[in-house]
Amino acid sequence: MPVPTVHVIDDDESMRNAMVSLLRSVGLQVAAYAAADAFLQQPREAGPSCLVLDIRLPGTDGLDLQAELNRLGMTMPVVFITGHGTIPMTVRAMRAGAVEFLTKPFSPSDFVQAVRTALERDVAAWPARQELDGLRARYALLSPREREVLTHVAAGSMNKVAAARLGVTEITVKVHRRRIMEKLELRSVADLVRATERLGLRAPGGDYTKV
């Protein structure tokens, strides 16, 4: 597993440097940014991580960055820090999945503990996320026709029913079905159904489609 990284975003240079120094003093790997946009534009190595995020930032503020990360599916644990916290801010941050909301000035021990908790959460989630990333990569190998067949197989359609709906022969469906199982590295239809659920392919009504 790659070394976990703490990403610190704060436009106050002295505060940012102090947090970076403190985290490095306890053996953590740290990357620092002065703005949310700089963080979004900077390529990051794959690995467990967490985000130390100031609420008030130039350009995209902390809460908006958290919302954008959630929209992009980047489930990075967030520790918010602010000198001007309000109850609505705290509620919004925690509902969106923040690990902690610290109001300046906070104690070094509370800060380090919050960051460690956030990193531990992402380290625990890392194996499952890697497995899902691998499944997504294998799904990307399917042809458009194989994806169409997949929707019918995962929804429980018999081969002849899927063939009739797709306007192909039953043999063609069987061939695509075998290739789907091989490309996704699955052994049974039950595995296939679980895989489609993990990929978020289930649509309302029981059909499966990419969403």
Residues 164-179: pLDDT tens digits? 988 999 999 999 999 9
CATH of domain 141-198: 1.10.10.10
Least confident interval from 15-24, 36-45, 132-141, 142-151: 36-45
Is it true that domain 5-126 has CATH number 2.60.40.10?
no
Say whether pLDDT at 39 is over 80: yes
Cβ atoms of 128 and 99 closer than 8 Å? no
Say whether pLDDT at 208 is over 50: no
Spatial CB neighbours of 7, under 8 Å, sequence gap ≥ 6: 30, 31, 32, 33, 39, 44, 49, 50, 51, 52, 76
Locate the domains of the chain by residue range: 5-126, 141-198
Residue 136: both structure tokens together = 């997504």
Q: How confident is the model at residue 32 (pLDDT cuts 50, 70, 90)?
A: very high
Q: What is the C-alpha to C-alpha distance for residues 55 and 211, in angstroms, rounded to an integer?
A: 31
Cβ atoms of 6 and 30 closer than 8 Å? yes
The whole-number average pLDDT for the span 150-154 is 86
pLDDT tens readout for residues 89-141: 667 777 767 888 888 889 999 999 999 999 999 999 888 888 888 998 999 99
Quick check: helix, strand or coil at residue 127?
A: helix
Helices (H), ranges, the chain: 13-25, 36-41, 62-71, 87-95, 108-139, 144-154, 159-166, 170-184, 189-198
β-sheet bridge partners, residue 31 = 7
Least confident interval from 7-16, 38-47, 51-60, 98-107: 38-47
Q: What is the C-alpha to C-alpha distance for residues 107 and 6, in angstroms, rounded to an integer?
A: 18
Q: Greater confidence, 141 or 152? A: 141
